[in-house]
Structure formats: C-alpha cells, structure tokens
Amino acid sequence: MAQRTDETLTVLVYSDDRNTREQVTVALGRRPAADLPAIEYLECATTPAVLRALEKGGIDLCVLDGEAVPAGGLGLTRQLKDEIYGCPPVLVLIGRPQDSWLAAWSRADAAVSHPVDPVTLGDAVATLLRARMARRAPAAR
C-alpha cells in the first residue's frame, strides 16, 4: 500500500447538476482510503471551467459526469486525453453499466455507473489516486 502522507490531493468533479457533484463529494468524503492523503475538491459545472482548471495544473484526478449537458463527460474525457499533455486520470460516471463501451471509447481510466455507490466509487478513486501517487513518487532506492 502507498505510504500515508500529509499532502493534499485535488479531485476535479464535473457535472452541470449540482446534486451529482454533491453525491460524488459526499460519497468520497475527505479521504477515500486510510492510506491516502486528504482530498480537496474543485467543482466545475461547465467545460470551459474544466479546461481552465486543467491548464492551471495541480489536478490529481477528474471525475466527469457522462450525462452532463450540453457537453457530456465521455466526449470531454476523449478531448482531454487527446489535448492535455500528462492528463490526470479520469473516472467517468456512466448512465448504466451497459454504457461501459462508451467509457472505453472515451479512454477513461475507470467508469462507475449512476446512481453513485459510495463503496464502488471510493474503491475506483482510491485505485486511481494510488497509481497517480506512485508515478509521482521518487524512484525507489
């Protein structure tokens, strides 16, 4: 397991629906797993806000709502993977499990279906954040 650290991780949560953003942040809480640092959330309701945030840097994970309107998180994920060098991992919220093929098309790193299940979402987010931290960690001795 990753070593616990005092740093803070930033998770961007995108949805045009405030309730969806709240479901994600409440489900994950301050720390999705005991071995991970605390999380700060950056909530975005529009595609331009997501793009500005990623241009600034410092985002460790994106959680994008595949059902967002007018720009869904699946198309946005594909755009980010194409256009953002070193794009952070992206988890998409899909409408139903059968839509997992769309998540694969978008090149999302993980997908979780609506309604948000806190355990499933927490496990997926913890896995992605651990991998992100491992890539950032200095080389082993």
Could you report the per-residue pLDDT of 4-39, keeping only the tens digit for each? Answer: 445 899 999 999 999 999 999 999 999 999 999 999
Assess if residue 55 is contained within a domain: yes
Assess if residue 2 is contained within a domain: no
Assess if residue 3 is contained within a domain: no
Long-range contacts made by residues 79-84, C-beta under 8 angstroms, separation at least 24?
A: 80/50, 80/54, 81/106, 81/107, 84/54
Looking at the predicted structure, is the pLDDT value of residue 52 above 70? yes
| Domain membership of residue 79 as a residue range | 8-136
* Residue 65 · residue 44 · CB < 8 Å: no
Assess if residue 43 is contained within a domain: yes
Taking the CA of residue 83 as centre, how many other CA atoms within 13 Å lie in the half-sphere pointing to its CB? 11
What is the rounded CA–CA span in Å between residue 107 and residue 45? 21
Assess if residue 91 is contained within a domain: yes
pTM: 0.91
In this predicted model, what pLDDT tens digit does every residue of 78-120 receive, in sequence order? Answer: 999 999 999 999 999 999 888 899 999 999 999 999 999 999 9
Looking at residue 97, what is its pLDDT?
Answer: 87
Q: How many folded domains does the chain comprise? A: 1
Assess if residue 117 is contained within a domain: yes
Looking at residue 140, what is its pLDDT?
Answer: 47
Assess if residue 141 is contained within a domain: no
Assess if residue 1 is contained within a domain: no
44-64 mean pLDDT: 97
Looking at the predicted structure, is the pLDDT value of residue 141 above 90? no
Q: Please give the sequence-ordered ranges of beta strands (E in DSSP) within the chain, or none if there are none.
A: 8-14, 38-44, 61-65, 90-94, 110-113
CATH number of residue 104's parent domain: 3.40.50.2300
